[in-house]
Amino acid sequence: MGKITHVVKRTGAVVPFRKERITNAIYRAAVAVGGRDRSIAEGLADQVVAMLEEITPPGHTPTVEEIQDVVEKVLIENGHAKTAKAYILYREDRARRRQERARRSAHPSENIPWWKLWEVLNWAVDHDLHTVERLNARIARGEFPQLVRETDRAYNEDITTAAEMIKERRDEVRIVIIAGPSSSGKTTTTIKLSHLLAKMGLSLVPLTVDNYFFDLELHPKDEFGDYDFETPQALDLELINDHLVRLVNGEEVRIPFYDFKTGRRHDDHTPMRVGPNDLILIDSLHGLFPDMMRSVDDERKFKLYIEPLLQMKDPDGRFVRWTDLRLMRRMVRDAVHRAYDPQRTLEHWHYVRKSELRNIIPYINTTDYIINSGLPYELPVMRTRLLDSFARWADLYRDDPLREDAFGRAERVRALLQAVTPVEDESAIPPDSLLREFIGGSCYEY
């Protein structure tokens, strides 16, 4: 047992000290500047622990800030200036985000598409769906099938608008980027958009960027030691850029294949070339991340962003959080289609959200169009499926300092679902509904 056994978090909570978290943080910073040697990160973490044990007074429990100071010192003293800079910048970014949260009410974020929110809110008011209370009232009047039709009509109109915009730029656009955070509905939206473009004589040819993952052993990890597939640094961005430039120029490339069972990438695997009426489709979490396609001229791209921009207030007068909607969707989808424990989805959502805030959200307003995938009718469906689980998780994590994020989300979603009238009969939800992507019963193949 080492001298350092616990650490004080910024919240004041005292949690067990784990060297692996230091290793993961150093390796993540190294990956950000092109490094992929985890053994170096492990050796540096050993030095950090040794220095901490040397300088920490007897009986003192070091804080997160004190440990981070030592990490910076070790990186610099060992000649890892670029990694140290990436680590410092990440640390400063986290501090800045904490400050922004503190003053958010006085200084609205520039990353929010206010024009689109006004459009969605106006629709919600017109359809009497702007509060949970009004949603419940419509359900009580037997109007659930009607509000499903109204919601799906608005969503499909958004997709039609996007298709028409692409058609207008068909002479210059060669890449269609469909981006958005986890479980925003990118897959269903892509299928619907493909069908509309096909009627216009255009074809979307997918380039699956998941095939460009580095080998699993080279991936960064999160603070709990899990491999982080949510960060763009897990992808070979240089190779993606090279292939896109060549495809846009009419050349043939051989794209790699990533085997998720083995965690290995096989290069030069599948030939690909696009024709004059083909548009390269990039359906990716990180489609808006600048380095993803920095080598391709902007006029050759059409950037589409998808987010469930639901404008509905809960009984306490607070807007329902979009990230909570996506969390519930992912839980249900993972349980239905992937045999994945939804509790693990909740526990891992913290790094999903961190990656979104860092690599997706800042670029929302660089898009050509935004599609709202928020469905008011998904709340009564999720109430039936998930309320008991969220209540159980809230109790489970209530006094666990290592799971503060999971507890906060569980308690918030539990309160929201508790206020919603449940709907058990899902027959009014059509097979082409976006929600079917998550709850099952879709007419599309995913």
Question: Got the DSSP string for 337-385?
Answer: HS---HHHHHHHHHHHHHHHHHHTGGGGGGSSEEEE---TTHHHHHHHH
**122 vs 142: CA distance, rounded Å:** 23
- On the CB side of 202, CA atoms within 13 Å amount to 24
**192 vs 204: CA distance, rounded Å:** 11
Helix axes 322-337, 342-359, angle to 10 degrees: 130
SS3 437: helix
What's the whole-number average pLDDT of the chain? Answer: 88
**166 vs 273: CA distance, rounded Å:** 21
Closest CA to 135 of 320, 269, 370, 266: 320
**pLDDT band at residue 96 using 50, 70 and 90 as cut-offs:** low
CA distances from 108 to 103, 104, 114, 424 (A): 9, 6, 10, 38
Question: Given a cut of 70, is residue 102 above it in pLDDT?
Answer: no
pLDDT of the residue at 296: 92
How much is the average pLDDT of 164-185? 93
Looking at 216-220, 262-266, 325-329, 404-408, which range is the least confident one?
216-220
**pLDDT band at residue 77 using 50, 70 and 90 as cut-offs:** confident
CATH of 114-439, one of 3.40.50.300, 3.10.20.30, 1.20.140.10, 3.90.70.10: 3.40.50.300
How much is the average pLDDT of 401-429? 95
Question: Given a cut of 80, is residue 424 above it in pLDDT?
Answer: yes
Between these two residues, 36 and 339, which has the higher pLDDT value? Answer: 36
pLDDT of the residue at 105: 44
How much is the average pLDDT of 20-45? 84
**pLDDT band at residue 99 using 50, 70 and 90 as cut-offs:** low
Question: Given a cut of 60, is residue 51 above it in pLDDT?
Answer: yes
* 159 contacts 408 by C-beta, under 8 angstroms: no
Q: Where in the sequence of the chain do the CATH 3.40.50.300 domains occur?
A: 114-439
Question: Given a cut of 50, is residue 106 above it in pLDDT?
Answer: no
pLDDT of the residue at 100: 58
Between these two residues, 102 and 268, which has the higher pLDDT value? Answer: 268
pLDDT of the residue at 94: 66
Q: What is the pLDDT of residues 251-276, one digit of tens each?
A: 999 999 999 889 999 999 999 999 98
Question: Given a cut of 90, is residue 114 above it in pLDDT?
Answer: no
Q: What is the pLDDT of residues 361-408, one digit of tens each?
A: 888 888 999 999 999 999 999 999 999 999 999 999 998 888 999 999
Between these two residues, 35 and 418, which has the higher pLDDT value? Answer: 418
Question: Given a cut of 80, is residue 1 above it in pLDDT?
Answer: no
The pTM of the whole model exceeds 0.95: no
Q: Which positions ≥6 away from 269 have C-beta within 8 Å? A: 211, 254, 255, 256, 257
